[in-house]
Amino acid sequence: MVATGTVAELTDTYLRIEQRVKGNTESKEFTLVSPASVHVGDKVKVAYTEKDGSNVAGSVTKVIKRAVKRTVPPGKARPAR
Q: What is the 3-state secondary structure (H, E, C) of the chain?
A: CEEEEEEEEECCCEEEEEEEECCEEEEEEEEECCCCCCCCCCEEEEEEEEECCEEEEEEEEECCCCCCCCCCCCCCCCCCC
| pLDDT over threshold 70, residue 76 | no
Q: Does domain 2-62 have CATH number 2.40.50.140?
A: yes
Higher-pLDDT residue of 76 and 18 is 18
The predicted structure's pLDDT at residue 80 = 61
Q: Where are the domains of the chain?
A: 2-62
Contacts of 63 (CB under 8 A, 6+ apart): 4, 42, 43, 44, 45
The predicted structure's pLDDT at residue 67 = 73
> In which band, very low, low, confident or very high, does the pLDDT at 78 lie, cut at 50, 70 and 90?
low
Residue pair 46/60 in contact (Cβ under 8 Å)? The answer is yes
pLDDT tens for each residue of 4-54: 999 999 999 999 999 998 999 999 999 999 999 999 999 999 999 999 999
The predicted structure's pLDDT at residue 69 = 72
